[in-house]
Amino acid sequence: MEDTKPFYDFSIPYNKNATVIRAILNELVELGYKTIAIEQSFDHSKKDAVKRGSEMFPEPYNIENLRNEFKDKLKILQRLNILYVDANVSHAMSVSLNLRKFNLIAGQPKTDAALTHCCTTFNGDIITFDPVAGSKLLVNRKSLQVAVRRGMFFEIKYAPAIADSNNRKDMIKVAQNYCTKGKSKNIIFSSGALHEFQLRGPYDVANLAYIFGLSADQGKNAIDRFCRQLFLRAESRRLGKTIMFVKGKGPIVYSDSSDEGEDDDVQMDEIEPIITEPATEDEQEIENYQPNKKRLKVLE
């Protein structure tokens, strides 16, 4: 599977101003983060359900230049936050093609019903909440346990807690609720920082676990191991059941079957398992970065 290195920060809000986001990324490198995700929000409840079947979700932002700039320092993923009020969103999600271009998908429910839906059937990876709206939404025990069993992760953002004391109280309340209802299982920390001054080092964040009701061990895992688990889960959702996947390094040359293996770009040791295991061929993802094509293949 794809390599990711600790530490992780899965929520950096996208900023149009290139200098701001560059400053944030530089600070992240300085603090010792290796894998981050650029966050993008989408409010599903505002859209009318007129255009059924058509594309609803936005394209991911183009961050190729950032990726190139921080090539060997940071691994940059992309993440979509979906704000929604009812279960209609799941239909829109199932037909969407753009959604596959994102590495991570987070649900941000606005009502109690949506929160329960988010825990039980939502086809995403992270359950997050709006720090500004307050802590009216508290998850109940049953749906929390369902969510834990499904491998969803709850997110706690610490930057709003640093900026404002009201938010801090709400954040502690929500985090302690996770603690009382489900022993703080499956919790990750992320920043959500709008400015580089709000970022903190990974060990500082792990120390914050104390006020959020997590044990020291859980706090450390919340920025390290659980994030890796989350990433793997997200990849498996994107690719389907996968045993292995092959990623082309250079331009892909499609050659005839007669002289196969002669002038292929893929190296020999990489292609060997495909030949020896023809039974699992339909489950393999040859081209990772063309989810559209793959999708069409499935639809046929």
Partner 1 sequence: MVRIKNRYIAVQIVPYTPTQTLRFSDQTLTKCLLQNVKKYYGVYGLGLLEHGFRVKYCNERTKIAIIRCLHRGQHFVSSMLPLITLIGEVRAKFRTLYTGATIIQCNKFIIKHQRQFLDRMMGQIESAKERQDIFKRVMEFDLDR
Instruction: Quickly tell me which residue has 């250079």 as its tokens.
Output: 250
- Neighbouring CB atoms inside 10 A of 224's CB total 17
Which residues ranging from 150 to 179 are in contact with partner 1 (CB under 8 A)? 158, 161-162, 168
Q: Specify the stretch interacting with partner 1 by CB under 8 A; choose among 78-86, 120-128, 202-210, 226-234.
A: 202-210
**How many angstroms separate the CA atoms of 260 and 255, rounded?**
6
| Closer of 100 and 168 to partner 1 (Cβ) | 168
- 3-class secondary structure, 23: helix
* Residue 40 CA: distances (Å) to CA of 18, 28, 98: 15, 18, 13
Q: Which of 207, 229, 242, 284 is the binder for partner 1 (CB under 8 A)?
A: 207
Question: Of the candidates 170, 163, 111, which has an alpha carbon nearest to the alpha carbon of residue 135?
Answer: 170
CA atoms within 13 A on the CB side of 239: 24
Rounded to a whole number of angstroms, the minimum distance from the CB of residue 159 to partner 1 is 10
210 binds partner 1 (CB under 8 A): yes
205 binds partner 1 (CB under 8 A): yes
* Residue 53 CA: distances (Å) to CA of 87, 89, 195: 16, 12, 38
Rounded to a whole number of angstroms, the minimum distance from the CB of residue 71 to partner 1 is 16
Q: Which of 197, 247, 252, 255 is the binder for partner 1 (CB under 8 A)?
A: 197
Rounded to a whole number of angstroms, the minimum distance from the CB of residue 219 to partner 1 is 9
Task: Lay out the site mask for partner 1 across 80-119 (x = CB under 8 A, - = otherwise).
Answer: ----------------------------------------
Q: Are 165 and 201 contacting, i.e. CB atoms less than 8 angstroms apart?
A: no
Q: In the numeric block, which tokens belong to residue 96?
A: 């969407």
Rounded to a whole number of angstroms, the minimum distance from the CB of residue 45 to partner 1 is 33
Rounded to a whole number of angstroms, the minimum distance from the CB of residue 19 to partner 1 is 16
31 binds partner 1 (CB under 8 A): yes
Phi-psi region of 261 (alpha: psi -120 to 50; beta: other; left: phi over 0): left
Residues near partner 1 (CB under 8 A): 31, 158, 161-162, 168, 197, 200-201, 203-205, 207-211
